[in-house]
Amino acid sequence: MVQRNSYKILSYKIKHNYNVKYFLNSYRYLLQKTINIIWDNIEWIEKKQRNYYLIRNGKRVKKKYYCVKRLIPIIPKSREFKRNLRNFLLEKWSYASHYVDSAIKVAYSIINSWRRNYLKGKRGRNKPVVKRKFVRVKETLYVYRNDKIRITVKPRELYLEFDLSNTWFGKRVNGYDLGELILKENELVIPFRKEVSSSKHLRKIAWDMNLLSMDGFCDKGWIKINLKPLYTLHVTYENKRRKIQSLAKRKPKTAKRLMQKYSARERNRVKDFLQKLTTKLAKEFKDYEHGFENLEKQGMFNKRKTHNRVISKQNWKQIIQFMKYKAFKVRADIDPRRTSSTCPICGGRLLKLRKGQVVKCKKCDLDLDRQLCGAINVYLRMRGFPSSQSVFYRVVIKRMISLWKMQMKRGRGVTPIGCETNDLLLMNPEGVKVNEHQGGGSSINVYLR
């Protein structure tokens, strides 16, 4: 479930045995035809854009700027154009006319998504092509009454009925309204929505995504999630694929079959791991707004093959995707730059100690665990606070004082076992660990400070 415009949304699937192949093919042809017409009417405007590349001279790095000409697409959105488009598409459409409105809405959504990626440099001037078979059913095309859905395909001729009285999710959606349905070849996707009161004082938790862990920070403290089993899963199947590739010359058919088998098994196991992990996070932090960094793999690749393979194994986007429909509210637009190398107190540059595990600030002598520093900086950026001593005390330290006192009363102390008092990492004492094993071996460690 996710909050969008003060709504909670739940989505479920039910199977069906209707023969709707021809209907789905007709809708896909209609949708592609709509995209073609909009694409042919796009106006391309030439604009100058300022870019730069880096010149390295030892430790010094200089930016060399240059100007390039780029074509910017202007999508037609006038009322007259949409009206003429609708009338043209209705001429040879034999089903309910509201499906034409649905196709126009979906086509504009696809074109707008392509334009955003094109402006970011992720897409070329290639027209989007519809490959999947589906039909988006508007609310004007179905009736929901007495736990039954009746979808209109052809008015007064053809209807599809679905009974929801014996479904397993009936109690979960009690009091919810239906949204736009998605009809597929063998299933119907049903979104349910319920209006909720928006809270101005919603608690927040920020997540710093790393190679082997997810580090969060909120009013409960430092939340550390172990992702090493997930990374081990990727490495295990990578080694299996290498062995299979050695059979490609001698037994190509066997190698192809085994490659498909183990690739599908890897995807399923990774998906199962992430589903269980995100479900646990959504339950543990039920009324929290989750903030994630806006990470893009394309900007992290370099000339080193080992580094690129490590980056390609990460599932950051998939975790955010699952959290968006499970958590109460999710945002993934936080700037990830220098979160682990910026001091959260003075904003200065941090030095790496102990092989990068600990960072230290020269100006204010702050010692922090590197991953904890990243989580705190993401949390401060999520809240919109700058780096300052007063903000660090009010937002980070002050809220933890009650937890520190509780730990002292329980006899836990604040110095880790085996460490001296002056060797204490600030904000990183021995904490209470709550291990939640999830099928694939993931664990959530909560460090209370």
Portion of the chain with pLDDT greater than 90, in percent: 45
Report long-range pairs for 13-16 (Cβ below 8 Å, ≥24 apart): 13/187, 13/188, 13/189, 13/190, 14/162, 14/164, 14/167, 14/187, 14/188, 14/190, 15/186, 15/187, 16/160, 16/162, 16/186, 16/187, 16/188
Question: How far, in Å, CA of 285 to CA of 218, rounded?
Answer: 10
| Nearby residues of 36 by Cβ (< 8 Å), 6 or more positions away | 127
Tens of pLDDT, residue by residue over 110-120, are 999 999 999 88
Six-digit token string for 135: 């039909």
Nearest to 240 by CA among 225, 221, 259, 223: 259
Task: Please give the torsion angle defined by the CA atoms of residues 333, 335, 340 and 343, in that order, rounded to the nearest 10 degrees.
Answer: -120
Average pLDDT over residues 294-315: 84
What pLDDT sits at residue 431?
34
DSSP string, 388-404: -HHHIIIIIIHHHHHHH
Which residue blocks in 246-343 are alpha helix, DSSP H? 252-284, 305-312, 316-326
Q: Is the pLDDT of residue 53 over 60?
A: yes
Nearest to 178 by CA among 144, 141, 224: 144
Q: Is the pLDDT of residue 46 over 80?
A: yes
Residues present in the chain in total: 449
What integer best gives the mean pLDDT of the chain? 83
Average pLDDT over residues 298-311: 83
What pLDDT sits at residue 84?
96
Six-digit token string for 37: 């017409």
Give phi and psi for 188, each to the nearest 5.
-125, 125
Six-digit token string for 389: 């001593």
What pLDDT sits at residue 415?
35
Confidence of residue 248 (pLDDT cuts 50, 70, 90): confident
What pLDDT sits at residue 136?
96
CB burial readout 358-387, b (16+ within 10 A) else e:
bbbbeeeebbbbbbbbbbbbbbbbbeebeb
What pLDDT sits at residue 200?
53
Helix, strand or coil, per DSSP, at residue 353: strand
What pLDDT sits at residue 138?
93
| Residue 329 contacts residue 202 (beta carbons within 8 Å) | yes
Beta-bridge mates of residue 330:
290
Question: How far, in Å, CA of 387 to CA of 241, rounded?
Answer: 47
DSSP 299: G
Beta-bridge mates of residue 55:
62
Tens of pLDDT, residue by residue over 348-376, are 888 888 777 888 888 888 888 888 889 99
- The residue among 119 and 196 whose pLDDT is bigger is 119
Q: Is the pLDDT of residue 339 over 50?
A: yes
Confidence of residue 423 (pLDDT cuts 50, 70, 90): very low
| Residue 276 contacts residue 436 (beta carbons within 8 Å) | no
